[in-house]
Amino acid sequence: ETGVTQTPRHLVMGMTNKKSLKCEQHLGHNAMYWYKQSAKKPLELMFVYSLEERVENNSVPSRFSPECPNSSHLFLHLHTLQPEDSALYLCASSQDPGPRDTGELFFGEGSRLTVL
Amino acid sequence: GQSLEQPSEVTAVEGAIVQINCTYQTSGFYGLSWYQQHDGGAPTFLSYNALDGLEETGRFSSFLSRSDSYGYLLLQELQMKDSASYFCAVSPFPVTGTALIFGKGTTLSVSS
């Protein structure tokens, strides 16, 4: 496989459930990101990891918990979510954080989350 | 803070030329990027301007003027498949952030 792969593509969960989103990149990149995309809103940055270390947490509620066990994998653990958390969650990677030199992020197809 | 403004919608016909503007307020950034996203798909990278001026990639060109806090994406010889959302984004200086900040996006509709 190549690129950035996200699973599951679709997820429906109740407010009391616990679930996880998974992201895997096969590009040898050092930085990985979680973005949230809601209708009529810009892509909102949630978390940034560089070499498996979290470098930015963009005021995200604690019901979202990221995990980066190695430079190829990124998880977003979800618990006690609210209906307003329903959105498309996009994972991305880049060679270096920013990315400053190229401006190029590689995105996965996203996980469409619905919270009932 | 950082903010980027784009028109919400643009319509055009096949074969035409369309320009999508992006104005921004930011304390400093490395460059301006453009992304395309089709319905149900992932955003894909189109271009990056680190310096002022025009960058050309096939039918698409992008322009940046730091003195005017302004950039644009120019799409020529429009095709139906160009119907998508287009986002501008800035790479901020580390004091502000470590990842791209995106505008709200412009929905381009191309008709025959």
| A56/B46: higher pLDDT | B46
| Sign of the alpha-carbon dihedral angle for B56, A35, A108, A97 | positive
Subunit contact A98:B41, Cβ cutoff 8 A: no
Residues of chain B below pLDDT 70: 1
Strand partners, A47: A34, A57
Strand partners, B41: none
A10, closest residue in chain B (CA to CA): B40
Considering only CA atoms, give the Rg of chain B: 14
A106, closest residue in chain B (CA to CA): B44
Q: pLDDT by residue (tens digit) across A12-48?
A: 999 888 999 999 999 999 999 999 999 877 899 999 9
Query: What pLDDT shows up at residue B1?
Result: 65
Nearest-CA neighbor of A107 among B97, B85, B28?
A: B85
Subunit contact A101:B30, Cβ cutoff 8 A: yes
Query: What pLDDT shows up at residue B40?
Result: 86
Nearest-CA neighbor of A94 among A32, A42, A6?
A: A32
Q: What is the mean pLDDT of chain B?
A: 94
